[in-house]
Amino acid sequence: MSDTPRPLKTLRQEIAAACQQAGRDADAVTLLAVSKTRTASELAALADQGQRDFGENYLQEALDKMDDLADRDLVWHFIGPIQSNKTRDIAARFDWVHSVDRLKVARRLSEQRPAGRPPLNVCIQVNVDDEDSKSGVPLAEVAALAEAVAALPNLTLRGLMAIPRADSDDHNRAAFRQLAMTLSQLRNTMPGLDTLSMGMSADYGVAIEEGATVIRLGTALFGPRPTR
């Protein structure tokens, strides 16, 4: 897939075509706009075109944009590494967290989810390539963490997330397939799991073929990220 930014309408058409080619319903794949380092006005422009799901990596930046766009009916996803001292605001303000990789963090998110808000949707981040530099739980530990997270009262475990090593389509396909197989195994005891958050601007077509239900696109929507 090209990294050239495309209008949202064009990108949705490309996603629908990829779904059709894979024999899947286009409605089965959610486009998550990765909006870190982007301005509230850039997000508002996408929201005006019907984009609802936005993914943020940096908490304070996200909170500022949430305040600026509070009158919009947007769904906010936290997709970055989680520091323990940031869990309270994440639990209070986000609808989804894709990057849970420690039980300690999951417990804090559950304990700090405000009363009256629906359970926080969470995915377990899996380090499919066992990269030292990358967050995520090793594949061998996914089942135990999933069982523990699923038991927490104010969270809803939805599925798995991964960021494979930037490599070839063949490598990423194998990583996506491994994640999909891991989710399938978990569903033997947790049939409600329904989310595979995988695939980015350069490889979302392969991810869709392997069963992605959420694709996280930044460059394809916005172009190269500005430096922070």
- Give tens-digit pLDDT for 39-54: 999 999 999 999 999 9
- Quote the pLDDT of residue 119: 98
Write phi, then psi, for 211 (nearest 5 degrees): 110, 10
199-204 mean pLDDT = 93
Residue 13 pLDDT: 96
Alpha-carbon distance of 132 to 145, in angstroms, equals 19
CATH no., domain 8-217? 3.20.20.10
Percent of the chain, pLDDT > 70? 97
Kindly report which listed range (8-22, 123-137, 149-163) carries the lowest average pLDDT score.
123-137
Residue 201, pLDDT > 60, answer: yes
Confidence of residue 3 (pLDDT cuts 50, 70, 90): low
CB 103 within 8 A of CB 111: no
pTM of the predicted structure, to 2 decimals: 0.95
Chain segment 45-98, per-residue pLDDT in tens: 999 999 999 999 999 999 999 999 999 999 999 999 999 999 999 999 999 999
Computed over every residue of the chain, the mean pLDDT equals 94
The dihedral built from the CA positions of residue 23, 29, 34 and 35, taken in this order, carries a sign that is positive
Up-side HSE of residue 216: CA atoms within 13 Å toward CB? 22
Instruction: Tell me the pLDDT band of 1, cut-offs 50, 70 and 90.
Output: low
Domain spans, the chain: 8-217
d(CA 137, CA 123): 11
